Structure 1
C-alpha cells in the first residue's frame, strides 16, 4: 500500500513544508572574532520546531525564553519560518549578517557625508564594508578594487542620504543580482 504522506521516524518530519522554529542565538562577539578583527557572526546554540498546540507552545516559549535570560544579554530567542532545523539556523545567521552589513554600509556612507564629500563609493556586497575611499567616477572605483565583481558602486552626495533600510534593500538586491537569481526584477531564491 502506498501513501501520499511522507513517513516520519522518531517524530522527525521528513517533508520540507514551512514551519515555525524557535532558535536560540548568541549575538555577542566571540573571543576569536575579536582577536582576529573579523566580522561578528551569530552563533546558533539551539533549534527546535515550534509546537502546534497553543498550551504546549506557550510552555515551550517560556522554557526557552528562561534559558535565554539565564544565559546573558547577547543570547536571544528568535521565531523563524524555515523548512528544517538546519534551514532555520542558516536563516538566523543570514539575517544577522545582512543586518550587520547594512549597518556597516550606512556607517561608511555617513562617514563621508558628514564631511560633505561627494563621489563614488565601492561597497563589498557580502559584508557592507568599503576600502574607505571616494572615487571620481564608477570606472575609478571599479578599477581600485581587488575583487570588483564582489562590490556595488554608487555615487553619494549630501543631497541624497541613505537610510538603514535603503542600505539593507540595496545589499539584498545586489546579492541576488550577483548570484544570478533575479527574474523580472525579483529574486527567485530565498
Structure 2
C-alpha cells in the first residue's frame, strides 16, 4: 500500500452530457374564447408539469417509469402524457418537449392548409407562416405575388402546390424545420449547424 500524502484526484465534469429525461406534459390547449382561437399567430402550447433524469440502473429505471406513469394515470386527465426526451439538463428537456409539440402542431396546420387548397384542385403558390404553419388562405399565381401580399414576408415560406405533388406530415415538419434554420441563418450546405 502506497501512501503519498496527497489526496487522490477527483474528476470534475465541466460539460453537460446528454441523458434521457422523463417529462410529464399537459397538452391541453388553453383556448378561452373564439377570438383567441382565431387570432393570427396563436400557437398551442405544451405545459411541462414535471421533469426528472432517468435513472441509470435498469431496475430503478423501471420503478421510476412505473411511478411516473401511475401518476399520469391517477391524474385522470387525457391531456397528460409521459415522454422520454434526450437532453443535457432539466430545462433543456422541458424546452425540447415544448419545441417538439410546437413543430408537430405547425406541421399539422401546414398540411391542413395544403389539403384545403388541393380539395378544390388548387394549383399555385401559397405563403405559410414558419412559426405556426398557418396561411392567409390565398392561392397566388407566383412567388412574387405571394411574397408581396404578406404583412411580414420574412416570417413566411413560399412554395407551389399541385395535386400532382402531395405533402405528407413528415414533409411538412422537415420543411418548416429547414425554413426555421434558414431564417435564423444557421443553415450551411443544406444542413443546420445549430443542432
Normalised by the size of structure 2, how large is the TM-score? 0.89
CA-based RMSD: 1.6
Please name the residue that 1:114 is paired with. 119
The Cα of 1:35 is off from its aligned counterpart by: 6.5
Alignment of 1:122-161 (within 5 A): 122-161=127-166
Are the aligned partners of 1:33 and 1:40 in contact in 2 as well (CA < 8 Å)?
A: no
The Cα of 1:36 is off from its aligned counterpart by: 2.1
Q: Assess, with a 3 A threshold, how the Cα gap between structure 1 residues 34 and 185 changes in structure 2: closer, same or farther.
A: same
**Structure 2: gaps of 5 or more residues:** 1-6
Q: Assess, with a 3 A threshold, how the Cα gap between structure 1 residues 134 and 35 changes in structure 2: closer, same or farther.
A: closer
**Mean CA deviation greater in 88-97 or 38-47:** 38-47
Please name the residue that 2:18 is paired with. 18
Q: Assess, with a 3 A threshold, how the Cα gap between structure 1 residues 188 and 52 changes in structure 2: closer, same or farther.
A: same
**Structure 1: gaps of 5 or more residues:** 7-13
The Cα of 1:44 is off from its aligned counterpart by: 0.2
Q: Is structure 2 residue 56 aligned with structure 1 residue 52?
A: yes
* Count, aligned residues: 183
**Larger radius of gyration, structure 1 or 2?**
2
SS of the aligned residue for 2:127 comes to strand
SS of the aligned residue for 1:154 comes to strand
- The CA deviation string for residues 92-125 of structure 1, in whole angstroms up to 9 with x for no partner, is 0000000000000000000000100111000000
Q: Assess, with a 3 A threshold, how the Cα gap between structure 1 residues 55 and 93 changes in structure 2: closer, same or farther.
A: same
Please name the residue that 2:4 is paired with. none
Please name the residue that 1:64 is paired with. 68
The Cα of 1:46 is off from its aligned counterpart by: 0.3
Rounded to whole Å, the distance in 1 between the matches of 2:35 and 2:29 is 10
Match of 1:75 among 72, 80, 85: 80
Please name the residue that 2:44 is paired with. 40
Normalised by the size of structure 1, how large is the TM-score? 0.91
The Cα of 1:30 is off from its aligned counterpart by: 1.8
